[in-house]
Structure 1
């Protein structure tokens, strides 16, 4: 009797241990993701709204922010697992103790525009004029690089909100602004002049970042996030924008997003690594702005295995 009871208890204990092990290895499939209403977010929104995330077994909760500062506050409050951001944000967050890694690039093309009535159609005319950027982020980096290559200076006007910057340029309260799409094309359609683009200057700094804890505890979830992201890119490239564009307004995109996408005909790219040269250039710039003091290595703040 005692022997039978002992065997029964042992069996139950074994089942309990095995059950416990199973629970420990079960991966959390939920991700909290932060975006800005810019072109780089479109594949993520499409992946959500068209069911690609669900197909890959990932539940992504998307939050839209109107400024990168608000997004970073949410990161620091541990309200986000991943974000669309830039290389300098990865460095400054790590410097502040908020460990995140660059896991891929984004689809980006930033444009420098001048106000409709400014008459500014060259960098020479932009010299010492008022340009609105958001300090310490990719907008300032791109403007600094363009200014340096054209040997000009500019006066910084800080307007964090997308909409407020948009309106300030059109009302000629500022002389220039750096914007991504679709806002840049919408501004140009209302009289603003495109002076230069980040692609022309071969400037890239945009990234997707994920929290280090998420990368270590939910690696398959992040991999599946990227599978869905790339499926969304394929879908966008072969689908009329009318089939998916209207849903973008739920994420604070302007109503004109569908006409823009239809007329643009842009080919989106799947997630890729950022180059070591990009990292080095942004690292030097970030240190020059006194945003960081540590000398980070590329591998300290990047991990691209999730897109392979």
Structure 2
């Protein structure tokens, strides 16, 4: 009997030691109502973060301005953003680090009655977007590749850009999904997308304290994130679409997911080419005073 008790005790100890030690302090992540948030939301709602031994707290934001204000106030530890935001934060002494890419595809759309059906027809026209972020970078890159110029109409408001395009207040707009698909359903003209032009600049950012002091937790975050990507690719939206509304997604998100042709991708590194191009672009736009130090601004160790 004593031998049995000893063996049972050893078995319990070994089993306990194999479970990941959970840091009870959550990593606070800010999301936006865009497809990039889906793996994070699914990993949270389906218990994948917990299963991998990391505590995550999600704060949904309606726009990048709210997200940035929360980051400045120290209210979030990580966020869905873009490379230029990472560079800008670093330039301002806010040590957020680019740790991976995100699922993204920015669509360029023309207003219903503009008569515009090709990208080059935006030449000399107003395009509503948020200056200094990925939306403007995408538009600039496309304009350069297709040899036309356009006028920036600064409009941070999601509803303002959405409703303004449908009422023909301006010629074009840049949106991600699901908003882009909703605009097309309401008569907007799809002209092209960032993926068609090979442009990719969205990213996940985490505070340097998380990257350096909680590196194991960050690896667990990405393990759960990638598990959620597999779940998204293997299951219809009916399995989880009801969960998305509390993260500020419209009800139409489920239809977009089910009609999405490309699979969701696991977290990967942002290419060196895009890092360099956005570095040059950010300085030219006056977002940063000097080129970003990529040794400080980028760290892909958690996904390797």
Match of 1:143 in 2: 139
Structure 1 unaligned runs (5+)? 1-24
1:104-123 equivalences in 2 (<5 Å): 104-123=100-119
Alignment RMSD, CA only? 1.5
TM-score by length of 2: 0.90
Match of 1:252 in 2: 248
TM-superposed deviation, 1:257: 1.0
TM-superposed deviation, 1:62: 1.0
Match of 1:47 in 2: 43
Distance (Å, rounded) in 1 between the aligned partners of 2:107 and 2:221: 29
Distance (Å, rounded) in 1 between the aligned partners of 2:243 and 2:157: 22
Match of 1:152 in 2: 148
TM-superposed deviation, 1:27: 4.2
TM-superposed deviation, 1:29: 4.4
TM-superposed deviation, 1:128: 1.3
Distance (Å, rounded) in 2 between the aligned partners of 1:245 and 1:27: 30
Q: Does 2:98 match 1:85?
A: no
Whether the aligned pair in 1 keeps the contact of 2:184 and 2:190 (CA below 8 Å) is yes
Distance (Å, rounded) in 1 between the aligned partners of 2:261 and 2:145: 30
Moved more, 156-165 or 135-144: 156-165
Match of 1:6 in 2: none
Instruction: State which of 253, 262, 266 in structure 2 corresponds to 1:266.
Output: 262
Match of 2:29 in 1: 33
Whether the aligned pair in 2 keeps the contact of 1:104 and 1:304 (CA below 8 Å) is yes
TM-superposed deviation, 1:26: 8.1
Provide, for residues 36-57 of structure 1, a one-character-per-residue CA deviation record: whole Å limited to 9, x for no partner.
1001111101111111111112
Instruction: State which of 212, 216, 219 in structure 2 corresponds to 1:216.
Output: 212
Provide, for residues 208-230 of structure 1, a one-character-per-residue CA deviation record: whole Å limited to 9, x for no partner.
00000121221111111111100
Match of 2:5 in 1: none
TM-score by length of 1: 0.89
Moved more, 145-154 or 207-216: 145-154
Instruction: State which of 228, 233, 239 in structure 1 corresponds to 2:235.
Output: 239
Match of 2:92 in 1: 96
Q: Does 2:157 match 1:133?
A: no
Helix, strand or coil at the partner of 1:273: coil
Structure 2 unaligned runs (5+)? 1-20
Whether the aligned pair in 1 keeps the contact of 2:26 and 2:56 (CA below 8 Å) is yes
1:168-207 equivalences in 2 (<5 Å): 168-207=164-203
| Count of equivalent residues | 284
Distance (Å, rounded) in 2 between the aligned partners of 1:277 and 1:263: 31
Provide, for residues 112-144 of structure 1, a one-character-per-residue CA deviation record: whole Å limited to 9, x for no partner.
000111111123321111111101000000111
Whether the aligned pair in 1 keeps the contact of 2:22 and 2:55 (CA below 8 Å) is no
Match of 2:18 in 1: none
Instruction: State which of 61, 68, 81 in structure 2 corresponds to 1:65.
Output: 61
